[in-house]
Amino acid sequence: TQIEKNGPQIEQETPKKAPAKGKMTDKKMENLAKARAARKANLDAKKYSKEKRSSAEERIEAEIERRAAEVAEKKALELLEKQKQEAELEEYRQWKKEQAKIAKEKESMRAAKKMAPPPKPKKKVMRKVASDSEDDSEDEPAPKKKPVKKTARKLTRQEYDEDSYNSYSQPSYSGFNIHDMLD
């Protein structure tokens, strides 16, 4: 704010103060941690023989390898399971495609049947009756037609109601009691 009031001025840098003796800086903390680690390593080297240290290192390495093997086995099982699921999914997709293809073929066959002209009835060839003269051939009877079945027509609503009324209006034996007859 002084710069704005008085115009452009050059700020003077204040000399940096030395850190207080009681406070720790980051660099100092790092150096102390390194020194502690070095002292501990030297103490371990003096305290334990070289054989004990190497056997401990071997045990640590064996533990690391065992854990790595467990993790690798777990990953392999997960991968195998995932591949199995993918194979099942692919098999399902193939089955679905086949079903769609079959359905399409059935639909095309139905459409082809609908589009195809109806089959023509086969003509029956009538054998000529052996006759003594050629004049009788003019009086031959016409071929007989097959008898046609009459289809029952559907009852109308009114006829249905009348029919059901008639069936109910007839005497019913539902109220019949054998004991009335015996008395």
Spell out the domain ranges in the chain. 26-115
Distance CA 86, CA 55 (A): 46
Which tens digits make up the pLDDT trace of 19-59?
555 566 788 888 899 999 888 877 776 676 777 777 888 89
Residue 139 has pLDDT above 70, yes or no: no
Residue 107 has pLDDT above 70, yes or no: yes
Residues of the chain with pLDDT > 90, as a percent, come to 27
Q: What's the length of the chain?
A: 183
Distance CA 35, CA 47 (A): 18
User: Would you tell me how many other CB atoms lie within 10 Å of the CB of residue 108?
Assistant: 10
Residue 152 has pLDDT above 70, yes or no: no
Average pLDDT rounded to a whole number, residues 122-138: 60
Q: State the pTM of this model.
A: 0.30
Distance CA 174, CA 87 (A): 68
